[in-house]
Structure 1
């Protein structure tokens, strides 16, 4: 065994959850949208063949334990209970036979509900607010059930909506549904179930946390009452399925909350208003004694969402210290999730600090990553960059609930970097019917992705890049210290291109497509930075120039533009010891759809916690030597000191040729977007060539 393999050896040892043996210590964690019973299905829940295909491919690639995404016990639409759909469980039984042939095990995750954390969309908000429309749509979508919480309180997503208090009768109905559904899962050959969740601020967690639970009955008040709901669920499941049937619990060690919609930063000294470590030590033991056989653990709530769904700004293994601590208070296995690094995770397992690592989004990006780890091919693993653009793009800003389009919200668990994930009917590779010569202009992510897709289909590909290296504008995007996964992605692309007969011509600028001898031309020349027509604009530093390190900046830096790039630049400046100030014309930072609230709330909370000045609804009127002139929403003009000014006000497509019969424009050259639009757009074109 090589030195590299020895680093991961502990990951590939067997362990047990109750009496069920798992072949290795890698757990594919649940992700919204990967439920085997469908996700947010208008036609009601059914056995989801696309999710089944996803899991079977991962099972064939050496994952130990699979836990699909949450399955609401009651259909979101039409209100039918899962246990009332026997056909679905018959299909599940056939699927479990296929899973078991691979040596993998699978638990089904069942949820009591989301309560105030239900990601109500902007389109649903007005329907819920109006009593008449709420009554009319109730047979189809009962928002009062979906939003039902321990006590009346504002929705996490729409603060002007009050979530109703769940009744004791509803609680008992949910407990009964857990037992009935778990029994059907067991009869279908499912290896265990996971209860969702005293975790992430979902319904059971809201009951457990005194900050949210103001009840005065047997489900509120003291410690035992607040954890009663979760305890009664596992007891009901054990009564229905037997004491030897494994039941896992999704569990947040600490809430990492400073207040309503305000989370704690890593390493921050703060006062916990949710579940603190002292209570967690007691709760973990209490829940184990109630009957739970495993804790699938991390940290956080929807108010500190970046702990549960860590963006690239959070450190790797961000929950490991807390999860390892809580393992000391229980005798059951403990899994740790949250940007887990396999090498660090393996060492923690070997040292007895945890029992397994939980990994989620990496499975969406590269279904074969565990196999590649086993075969000592770590450089072949396509890295997840923690962008959430495809897998969990619930976005929100001031005055809005979940701003994502409903159609997009219904399609979670896709991947910005891998279009085939949960979309295999739409995106798939087939050999080209007619082989062609294809010229691709631009060696950014879009151009490289197009080259790979075309080459895999059998076309003869030449990729032209005017600079001396591949990566395009993504080189600048990947420059900050917290973008290490972005840099790994560029390196992965460059290595991957070498595996195919693709001709790469660097330092070659194409000024006219007429000069190319090709059957098809793909234009992937990106975009150019927008300009602001104000006095002194010529002295400002463009965002890309700053990110590439080609310009020095002073101590006090005005960042013009509070979109994602501007906020990341301000964050980078702060980490470097500078003093950034953000100027944004909108009424909130990062108002663009499709950027996950876990990502945006981290940046907003970071700036708030560290007192980074943010001027909203404010425009730039002039740049002077050592200062900027600004105008607020009332028309008041004022001056701020600024040694340097960085412009981050968006981009304009810059194609070198227009779309034509044999000319295809992709990526930012077609429409400025993000990595998801760039990569998926490349597939949209290249699949048809």
Structure 2
């Protein structure tokens, strides 16, 4: 069985649902009630009934094909969920009970998004039943069981902000209990607007609390909040792959007991060279520890490669990673743009952190009389024309190809491995693939380029050793990046490398953040 087929079986309930007997349903209900009783005894104040999973499957027209009292009509399909609620209330009468109400939404093309749960009209009716049964709170959310967690927890640019709010407003209009909304409510300001408008009573933050667990405390103190990118790389991808849950922007996430900012024992003057994410995170942590920090950046803005990573379709939200530092650092850290420090300047500090980044690597094969441009230059605004062939189907190459295709150019991708954008989130890949198909982007995988001459790419298919020739007007070099090198031989003070320049392989966002955090926390 292929990995893809296994994943679909594992996550799409329609492929492996079996009908539970009434005795099994009763046993599960009693177990849930006993869990609630024990939670109450342990001092827990509230419990959420996750109305997706088993309960959502029974509620669903799409998944529930029973012919007994738990199937057929809306009353029958929701019977078990109400029985579970009643059992919990009897077992734990002082417990506040919330019901997560999953709604099968409709995509722009008319297809249904989700299988477990209820279509919107039925969900509103079921909300009335829950309210009458004494539920304390309802959270309106997207239904699951689609085979792609991006349908339930959408990545940046996939759906509008606050995308389930319309359904929440309809539920709120017919119930007396508080109603919560969830789903790409990224900023506190957006949440406050929803509350002010009265379209929901409570804002449910999910991924955002992985990025910054102190949202509530920071709002109270008026402090800057680090906002979630909705990239799904540290969290949702980890869930799908059964890996350790994390956040690319939060170096402490999941390890708060052992990884935390420690106040310095001696205040030092720290210089940071480079204002990409690694340098900016190092600046933040060094400042929080009590050091005096100066950031040198040779360009005229913060962010480094994030500024080009934000250019491809759906990627502009990645700029939130830089905007956080633009809000937090001024007034706390001396930021010197358009300034490449001299060695004498750096030797005047107590410690230097080098975050000088990377550059688009040169093509390794012979090139003669051909129009070759780098993916970095294209994403920085260089205009190209004609038939474009992107060499390298990694994340940068795939995103550059999608960017060019959306500009109306004819695009092909050449990749030596067997997969395009292998590092991309599994929740983003379907969107990218759909865009490739829409714009007829050609993909040459398992293809090794031997030489480029007169704007013709000469390559070999590594599977069958056949020759491949591709003519192009523009050849885009997206074969990867290479770390920038700094001559540290004349540095007379302690120094540390972070981010792209710190190892043999260049860093992703998570590595940049973590190396910057660690270096600053150890000064």
TM-score, structure 2 normalization: 0.81
Change (3 A) 1:224 1:528: same
1:560 and 2:385 aligned: no
664, 674, 679: which is aligned to 2:508?
Answer: 674
Written as runs of structure 1 = structure 2, the 5 A alignment for 1:457-496 is: 457-480=289-312, 482-496=314-328
CA deviation after TM superposition for structure 1 residue 194, in Å: 0.7
1:181 aligns with 2:32: no
Which string of whole-angstrom CA distances, capped at 9 and with x for unpartnered residues, describes residues 378-426 of structure 1?
Answer: 8x33322223344444277xxxxx2x6xxxx24x2x4332323442222
* Root-mean-square deviation over aligned CA pairs: 4.0
Structure 1 unpaired stretches of 5+:
1-121, 130-146, 148-152, 257-263, 397-401
Matches within 5 A, 1:187-206: 187-198=41-52, 202-206=53-57
Mapped to 1, the partners of 2:110 and 2:455 lie a distance apart of 35
| Alpha-carbon distance between aligned partners in 1 of 2:13 and 2:477, rounded to the nearest angstrom | 32
Q: Quote the Cα distance in structure 2 between the aligned partners of 1:395 and 1:581.
A: 32
Q: Do structure 1's residue 294 and structure 2's residue 145 form an aligned pair?
A: no
Deviation at 1:552, TM superposition (A): 0.6
Partner residue of 2:111?
270
Deviation at 1:230, TM superposition (A): 2.6
What is the CA–CA distance in structure 2 between the aligned matches of 1:177 and 1:227, rounded to whole Å? 19
1:99-138 per-residue CA deviation (whole Å, 9 max, x = no partner) reads xxxxxxxxxxxxxxxxxxxxxxx9xx9xxx9xxxxxxxxx
What is the Cα deviation at residue 219 of structure 1?
Answer: 5.2
> Which structure 2 residues correspond to residues 130-149 of structure 1 after superposition, within 5 A?
none
Query: Is 2:443 the counterpart of 1:615?
Result: yes
Partner SS state of residue 427, structure 2? helix
Aligned residue in 1 for 2:260 = 428
Q: Determine whether 1:254 maps to 2:104.
A: yes
- 1:652 equivalent in structure 2: 482
Which of residues 323, 329, 333 is equivalent to 1:497? 329
Provide Cα deviations, 1:346-394, integer angstroms capped at 9, x if missing partner: 444444433332222333333454455567x58x333222233444442
Give unmatched runs, 5+ long, in structure 2.
none
Task: Report the alpha carbon displacement of residue 237 of structure 1 after superposing the two structures with TM.
Answer: 0.8
Query: Displacement of 1:323 after TM fit?
Result: 3.2
**In the TM superposition, what whole-angstrom CA distance separates every residue of 1:16-57 from its partner, at most 9, and x where no partner exists?**
xxxxxxxxxxxxxxxxxxxxxxxxxxxxxxxxxxxxxxxxxx
SS of aligned partner of 1:251: strand
State yes or no: 1:452 paired with 2:452: no
1:481 deviates by 6.5
Query: 1:40-86 CA distances to partner (integer Å, 9 max, x unpaired)?
Result: xxxxxxxxxxxxxxxxxxxxxxxxxxxxxxxxxxxxxxxxxxxxxxx
Q: Deviations over 1:517-555 (max 9, x none)?
A: 444332211122234434658623322212211x11336
SS of match in other structure, 1:253 = strand
Q: Counterpart of 2:324 in 1: which secondary structure?
A: helix
Q: Which deviates more, 652-661 or 564-573?
A: 652-661
Residue 420 of structure 2 corresponds to: 589
**What is the correspondence of 1:44-55 to structure 2 with a 5 Å cutoff?**
none
Contact 1:394 1:597 in 2 (8 A): no
The answer to whether 1:416 aligns with 2:416 is no
- Residue 364 (structure 1) aligned with residue 216 (structure 2): no
The answer as to whether partners of 2:459 and 2:467 remain within 8 angstroms in 1 is yes
Question: Could you tell me the TM-score, scaled by structure 1's length?
Answer: 0.63
Q: 1:530 aligns with which of 358, 361, 364?
A: 361
1:280 to 1:458, Cα distance in 2 relative to 1, 3 A: closer
Partner residue of 2:228?
A: 384
In 2 relative to 1, CA 394–641 (structure 1 residues): closer, same or farther, beyond 3 Å?
Answer: farther
Number of residues of Structure 1 aligned to a counterpart in Structure 2 = 508
